[in-house]
Amino acid sequence: MKVITCFSYKGGSGRTVASANIAAALASTKSVAFIERPLDFKVALIDLDVFSAGSHRVFEISNSDIGDLKVCMQDYLMEEIKASNYLKENAIHLTHRIMTQFAAFRGGRDNCRKDFTLFPSKPEPDKRFIVAKYHENLLLELIMELENDKFDYVLIDGESGTRAMADIALRLSDIVLMFLRLTWQHIDGSLNAANFYLKKKNFPKFYFIPTVVPLIEDNDCVFIDGAPGLSDLKSQTRKVPDLSGLNKFAQEHKGTHDSPGVGYFWANNICIHDSLILKGGERIIVYDAIVDAEDRAGKDFYKIASEISRIHPPK
């Protein structure tokens, strides 16, 4: 089993949407033209952004439905519930009543393994607790229980930044996907974090995954032709990855095809995926790729999931 933490130095990178979609893509049972075979892995998604929960909304689960659940991640961590009980009695599977919207969307019930498992957090910003060492132990116990139950991948949607809960998720991971927007603040912060973690011994393998890649080609433009300032915006956008040092860093850490480096998904102004343009849709869109050949975001999630499974198979 492999544990993948989805990390972002700053909020607004599309991390939560991407982590949910990549998890669903890994659990997909449907063949698509650009992937040789269905990925068909047993996958769990843990929402560890306990102070700003949001993964459930990507599955079109309402805040009130999550609030009605007996146990969520905060309850598990604060009340020290036994991991085996949490998995057996309170995990959210595809067949759960609150998964109705997701299961129905574009044939989700038929296109995703029924043992796809979600561990949501409650959207209760008023409930705070001090992150302690025993929380890390409890999360480790849950991960070990998932491994005993023969899960292939566990994805953790961690909180942004380098706070205590984010640090716990990073320490327990085999792989880190570092999401960033191609803006100065996102790139600078992500590069600082990357250089910091590269100095740590035994830090997990990590990759940059740019999201909402700027539209700099004419045929990519979603703006009205002739929009004021569009030409300047495109011109300035092209310069950011190079001037910020992202291109240089990715080139220096690109690795090889067999042993990809940090910059595997981004190098020399080129993404290994098309765009990861989210278009503002905070929902599972991975199934769009099955019926809509032009849906670039759906394809991207599949491609990223496929590459991760190729580079880091579960066994």
Strand partners, 215: none
> How far apart, in whole angstroms, are the C-alpha atoms of residue 254 and residue 245?
14
The residues near 140 (Cβ < 8 Å, ≥ 6 apart) are 172
pLDDT of residue 219: 53
Query: Using 50, 70 and 90 to split pLDDT, how confident is the model at 110?
Result: low
Considering the segment(s) 2-213+244-311 as one domain, its CATH architecture is 3-Layer(aba) Sandwich (3.40)
The pLDDT mean for the chain works out to 82
Q: Please, are residues 87 and 311 in contact by the beta-carbon 8 Å criterion?
A: no
**pLDDT above 70: percentage of residues in the chain:** 78
pLDDT of residue 107: 53
Average pLDDT estimate for 49-68: 89
In eight-state DSSP terms, residue 106 is: G
The three-class DSSP label of residue 308 is helix
**Cα–Cα nearest to 53, from 64, 68, 63:** 63
Average pLDDT estimate for 13-42: 86
Domain spans of the chain? Answer: 2-213+244-311
Q: Please, are residues 276 and 300 in contact by the beta-carbon 8 Å criterion?
A: yes
In this predicted model, which residue has the larger pLDDT, 84 or 13?
84
| pLDDT tens string 235-249 | 776 778 888 888 889
Q: What element of type H or E holds 93? A: strand 92-93
Give the pairing type, strands 266-267 and 2-7: unpaired
pLDDT of residue 137: 94
CA torsion angle 114 117 43 28 (round to 10)? 40
Q: How far is CA 184 from CA 74, 112, 249, in A?
A: 34, 37, 15
The residues near 63 (Cβ < 8 Å, ≥ 6 apart) are 56, 57, 123
The residues near 246 (Cβ < 8 Å, ≥ 6 apart) are 182, 187, 191, 208, 240, 266
pLDDT of residue 293: 55
The three-class DSSP label of residue 176 is strand
The three-class DSSP label of residue 258 is coil
Q: Which amino acid is at 29?
A: T
> How far apart, in whole angstroms, are the C-alpha atoms of residue 84 and residue 66?
21
The token duo for 48 is: 């560890």
**Cα–Cα nearest to 212, from 240, 191, 242:** 240
| pLDDT tens string 249-285 | 988 888 887 788 888 887 666 666 544 444 445 566 5
In eight-state DSSP terms, residue 52 is: S
Q: Please, are residues 246 and 266 in contact by the beta-carbon 8 Å criterion?
A: yes
Average pLDDT estimate for 66-86: 92
pTM, 2 dp: 0.89
302 by Cβ neighbours in 10 Å (0-12 / 13-18 / 19+) ranks as buried
Residue 79 neighbours by CB distance under 10 Å: 10
In this predicted model, which residue has the larger pLDDT, 152 or 269?
152
pLDDT of residue 278: 43
Query: Using 50, 70 and 90 to split pLDDT, how confident is the model at 153?
Result: very high
Q: Is the pLDDT of residue 43 over 60?
A: yes
Average pLDDT estimate for 175-199: 90
**Cα–Cα nearest to 124, from 23, 56, 46, 45:** 56
> How far apart, in whole angstroms, are the C-alpha atoms of residue 119 and residue 72?
7
Average pLDDT estimate for 116-129: 85
Q: Which amino acid is at 80?
A: E
The residues near 33 (Cβ < 8 Å, ≥ 6 apart) are 293
